[in-house]
Amino acid sequence: MAHQWRGVIREYAQRLPVGPATRIISLGEGGTPLVFAPALSELTGSKVYLKVEGMNPTGSFKDRGMTMAITAAVESGAEAVVCASTGNTSASAAAYATQAGIKCAVLVPDGKISMGKLSQAIAHGAELLQVNGNFDNCLDVARKLSENYPVFLVNSVNPARIEGQKTAAFEVVDFLGDAPDYHLLPVGNAGNITAYWKGYREYAESYISATAGELPAVSTKTPIMWGFQAAGSAPIVAGHPITEPDTIASAIRIGNPASWQQAETARDESGGLIDSVTDEEILAAHRWLSSKEGVFVEPASAAGVAGLLKHHAAGNVPTEKTMVITVTGHGLKDPQWALRTADGSDIEPTKVEFDVVSVANALGLTGL
The whole-number average pLDDT for the span 183-210 is: 90
Which range, of 115-129, 182-196, 314-328, averages the lowest pLDDT? Answer: 115-129
| pTM for the structure as a whole | 0.93
Q: Taking the mean position of all CA atoms in its chain, how far away is CA 320?
A: 26
The whole-number average pLDDT for the span 332-359 is: 84
Q: Residue 213's pLDDT is what? A: 58
Q: What is the largest CA-CA distance in the chain?
A: 75
- Confidence band for 23, pLDDT divided at 50, 70 and 90: very high
Which range, of 28-32, 36-40, 42-46, 341-345, averages the lowest pLDDT? Answer: 341-345
For the stretch 99-158, pLDDT in tens is 999 999 999 888 766 777 888 999 999 999 989 998 889 999 999 999 999 999 999 889
Burial degree of 157 (CB within 10 A; 0-12, 13-18, 19+): middle
- Confidence band for 363, pLDDT divided at 50, 70 and 90: very high
Rounded to whole angstroms, the Cα distance separating 178 from 51 reads 15
**Could you tell me which of 299, 257, 295, 264 has the C-alpha nearest to residue 278?**
299
Q: Residue 346's pLDDT is what? A: 82
Q: Check if the beta carbon of residue 220 is closer than 8 Å to that of residue 118.
A: no
% of the chain with per-residue pLDDT over 90? 82
Sequence-ordered list of residues with C-beta below 8 angstroms from that of 277, at least 6 positions apart, any chain: 228, 229, 230, 231, 285, 303, 306, 307, 310
Q: Check if the beta carbon of residue 14 is closer than 8 Å to that of residue 211.
A: yes
The size of the chain, in residues, is 368
Helical (H) or strand (E) element with 41: helix 38-44
For residue 42, how many C-alpha atoms fall within 13 Å in the half-sphere facing its CB?
A: 4
Rounded to whole angstroms, the Cα distance separating 164 from 62 reads 9
Q: Taking the mean position of all CA atoms in its chain, how far away is CA 139?
A: 18
Q: Check if the beta carbon of residue 85 is closer than 8 Å to that of residue 93.
A: yes
Sequence-ordered list of residues with C-beta below 8 angstroms from that of 136, at least 6 positions apart, any chain: 241, 254, 255, 256
Query: In 3-state terms, what secondary structure has residue 157?
Result: coil
- Confidence band for 210, pLDDT divided at 50, 70 and 90: very low
The whole-number average pLDDT for the span 12-22 is: 95
